[in-house]
Amino acid sequence: MALHAETVARRAPLNRERVLQTAVDLADAGGIEDLSMRRLAQELGVVPMALYKHVANKEELLDGMVEIVVREIDAPDPDSDWKTAVRQRILSARRALLRHPWGRRVLESRNAPTPTVLAYMDSMIGMLRSGGLSIDLTHHVMHAIGSRMFGFSQELFTENGSAAADVTLPAATLAQIAAIYPNIAEVVARASHDEASVVGSGCDDQFEFEFSLDLLLDGFERLHLQRWSSTQPS
């Protein structure tokens, strides 16, 4: 009896908030593949089925985790012009995603947007409209930004560290690669020469992200200034 009471008292009462936050912590620490309902229950000191009191199923758990990540994105700066404000906000989203590397994969696996995601999108549209962009242009801009608005890049093979064109192989095999893929070798050689300070990939992810983001934003601005319309393409 006493033992039983002590056991109950020792563990903090489970609630949805604590379930979600522990799931986030687990994914942050061990990656999303280490997160299972059974593993999460173990971490919380309960039996797996106890979780189903607070989340309907694993999908709802993942939805809740997405909400936590998206809520970390800074509010828009009302004093900046639309392009600067959008840029800053997306860079803030990227920082949130760097804190939670599993966020990208999980967000992309969702079937439907959660309320927080919809609110973020609504806010983003509002920023573009406040900048004077037409509804038409805003619509296509939202498609063009796509999940980049959450700070996703669209790079190759970055999930697990190194990008495809980046070579962490010994120089011996690099020569062999050059024989088969001469163009890749040329680019890699140049990149590693220019940016030798960057360890690992040899590429500056932040630079690459801003490079493509700015290319798109500049394109949007150009279309806006020339009063682009989808019915009369230039």
Note the residues at the interface with DNA (CB under 7 A). 35-39, 46-50, 52-53, 57-59
Burial of 179 (0-12, 13-18, 19+ CB in 10 A): exposed
Q: Does 151 bind its own copies (CB under 8 A)?
A: no
Q: How far apart are the first and last CA of the chain?
A: 80
Distance separating alpha carbons of residues 217 and 142, to the nearest angstrom: 11
Output 111 or 226, the one with its CB closest to DNA. 111
Q: Which residues touch 92 (CB under 8 Å, ≥6 apart)?
A: 73, 74, 151
Q: Does 176 bind its own copies (CB under 8 A)?
A: no
Q: Which residues touch 156 (CB under 8 Å, ≥6 apart)?
A: 163, 164, 165
What dihedral angle (degrees, nearest 10) is formed by the CA atoms of 151, 154, 159, 161? -90
- Per CB under 8 A, contacts with its own copies among 191-220 are 191, 194, 203, 207-208, 211-212, 215-216, 218-220
Q: Does 123 bind its own copies (CB under 8 A)?
A: yes
Compute the least distance from the CB of residue 220 to DNA, in Å: 40
Q: Does 65 bind its own copies (CB under 8 A)?
A: no
Q: Does 112 bind its own copies (CB under 8 A)?
A: yes
Instruction: Please report, as ranges, the residues that interact with its own copies according to CB under 8 A.
Output: 108-113, 117-119, 121-123, 125-126, 129, 135-136, 138-140, 142-148, 152-157, 159-160, 163-165, 180-184, 186-187, 190-191, 194, 203, 207-208, 211-212, 215-216, 218-220, 223, 230-231
